[in-house]
Chain A
């Protein structure tokens, strides 16, 4: 039972953590682009 609960938590945490990391990478990239360019940066629009 405990194994099952840990497995469910892992199934939720792995993709959510991945989503947070990808968002962080894009934010870093956005900051770098803003520093290098005077043009307004438009964040890529994802729709699920």
Chain B
């Protein structure tokens, strides 16, 4: 697939807009990037997913370098890495299978299987997260602390991570969570921060500032694995990645400036509506694909 300067400018502008929203809400923005690249700019789904997974390495590297990482901070990310790797392999495998299926005929229309699989997965994920975000926007930050996984899912063997949380954490639960996260990253091209951050804070009870560092390291690892897997399958176009890196950096900087001026409740409500708006856009695209 060839790109001219105009396409490069369009992709870079989309990257800038998504970077702005991502910086504003403190997320990676992969969940916005893939639907916009595919639905609005018409980039094939596998290239949109591959570019999204690859470009995350840029901002993730910047964020990690800006922090002083200690050796003990690596324990949790290393435990989750095995599950992540298997998940990424499974996710890219599903996308590859969908890609090789080419198209199916539904209602006398040819539908690309990869588009259908990824859009349906996005629709469910964004609708669920959007509803959760709007529900949590009714409560104050202090009411949202929880330790769901440390209290209810203590499946042995357990391990202690003194730098993160006092209670021991179940290694199988961490590995299965990594597997799910890796699968979504491989299939959808998301960095995983969108799911990772609430699970670390509300599920495992890790304090916010420690969860940010932990989340960043896991995001870097999952992006690294996902980039290798997508590059291996030929799902990455370097020019798309460069355009996204250029636009995304400027947008993220402007967005993070605005983030400091907004309150947590306000941010969660707006974030919830943003997720539901993207889910609505994907739903409309699916209706168009299926019903014509």
Q: Please list the residues of chain A having a beta carbon within 8 angstroms of any beta carbon in chain B.
A: 4, 7-8, 10-12, 14-16, 18-20, 22-23, 26, 43-48
Contact = CB atoms under 8 A, between A and B. Distances in A.
Contacts of A45: 212, 256
Contact of A12 (B28, B57, B219, B252): B57
B54 A11 contact: yes
A45 B58 CA distance: 15
B88 to A, nearest CB: 14
B95 interface: no
Interface residues of B, number: 40
6 contacts: A12-B231, A14-B241, A19-B57, A23-B62, A44-B253, A46-B256
B65 interface: yes
B108 interface: no
Contacts of B256: 44-46
A22 to B, nearest CB: 5
Select the residue from B216, B231, B257 with max chain A CB neighbours within 10 A. Answer: B231
A12 B59 contact: no
Contact of B236 (A11, A16, A18, A48): A11
B26 A26 contact: no
B28 A48 contact: yes
Nearest to A7: B231
Interface string B201-226: 00000000000100110011000100
Contacts, number: 95
Given A8-B231, A20-B61, A48 B193 contact: yes
B220 to A, nearest CB: 8
Contacts of B241: 11, 14-15
Contacts of B191: 48
- Give the dominant DSSP class at A's interface: helix
A26 B67 CA distance: 13
Contacts of B148: none
A45 B63 CA distance: 8
Interface in B34-82: 54-63, 65-66
A12 B224 contact: yes
Contacts of B60: 19, 48
Contact of A4 (B57, B220, B232, B245): B232
A9 to B, nearest CB: 9
Nearest to B55: A15
B227 interface: yes
Contacts of A16: 57-58, 61
B242 A14 contact: yes
Contacts of A44: 253, 256-257
B23 interface: yes
Given A15-B56, A44-B256, A45-B212, 5 more contacts: A8-B232, A20-B62, A46-B62, A48-B28, A48-B219
B228 interface: yes
A14 to B, nearest CB: 6
Contacts of A10: 238
